[in-house]
Structure 1
């Protein structure tokens, strides 16, 4: 396949962007939780919700759960960010690793936050579009080159 390298580089760049945004989101979420500001951590994620409706006393367990979410965003961001450099080089395992970690993360986001109407289009929904674009591009390359190789 002629454009395989270019397409994998595009996919890698998309994963780099996605990874960096999720690393930042994880750090910000954990920072709010560690400072005791649960409403701001929720408002940062569910940005279409009126922040004044979030001002209440939350159980400490709710903060711990949201803190865990922030930690998961952080490590998944790192995992996809690192995978991107291997995708750039054409590593097939990295293609599937990023698709599983980033793709399933965004599937949950889409199902519960996007479809629930709790978020604005930017940045979260854009990140879902970015991750699924990266998956589609890299899977296209993987399966097209696999098909081409088996036809020879």
Structure 2
């Protein structure tokens, strides 16, 4: 049982890291959008793209869409960060909520940003690996605990 507690705690730490990174990314994205710097917001997300090629006049709607993305990063980061403290205790609902919010957010990132070739390995792809590890570890511990 102590081994399972350690696994829940490892998963929780991974979700804390993931949550903090996404809270920060959401704040920075919206900071740039609110300061009318759409290019900086895009280059912060699609960091493999040459920022010089992104400099142009974007329609206000593009800024609003990216601002919404920043807001989503923020709330998803907050949800997983809060869930992490309950994952630490092995709470089943928190494990599923963190997996759904963080996991699906990173699935979208992987499909459109990583596979699209728009990002470098650090930090985005590493965060996808972190969330995947948190999901696998917490689900393993949860199902192992329930089979005892």
**TM-score, with structure 1 as normaliser:** 0.96
Partner of residue 26, structure 2:
26
Q: Which runs of structure 2 are paired with 1:37-116 in the superposition (5 Å)?
A: 37-116=37-116
For residues 94-149 of structure 1, the C-alpha deviation after alignment (integer angstroms, 9 at most, x for no partner) is 0000000000000000000000000000000000000000000000011111122x
Partner of residue 35, structure 1:
35
Aligned residue pair count = 148
Q: Distance in 2 between matches of 1:32 and 1:138?
A: 35
Q: Distance in 2 between matches of 1:22 and 1:13?
A: 14
Partner of residue 135, structure 2:
135
Listed as ranges, the gaps of 5+ residues in structure 1 are none
Q: Distance in 2 between matches of 1:26 and 1:2?
A: 36
Deviation, structure 1 residue 79:
0.3
**4+ residue runs over 6 A deviation:** none
SS of residue matched to 1:3: helix
Q: Distance in 2 between matches of 1:145 and 1:131?
A: 21
Partner of residue 15, structure 1:
15
Partner of residue 122, structure 2:
122
Q: Which structure's CA Rg is the greater one?
A: 1
Deviation, structure 1 residue 91:
0.6
Q: Distance in 1 between matches of 2:36 and 2:71?
A: 16
After superposition, the CA RMSD in angstroms is: 0.6
For residues 43-89 of structure 1, the C-alpha deviation after alignment (integer angstroms, 9 at most, x for no partner) is 00000000000001000000000000000000000000000000111
Listed as ranges, the gaps of 5+ residues in structure 2 are none
SS of residue matched to 2:128: helix
For residues 30-54 of structure 1, the C-alpha deviation after alignment (integer angstroms, 9 at most, x for no partner) is 0000000000000000000000000
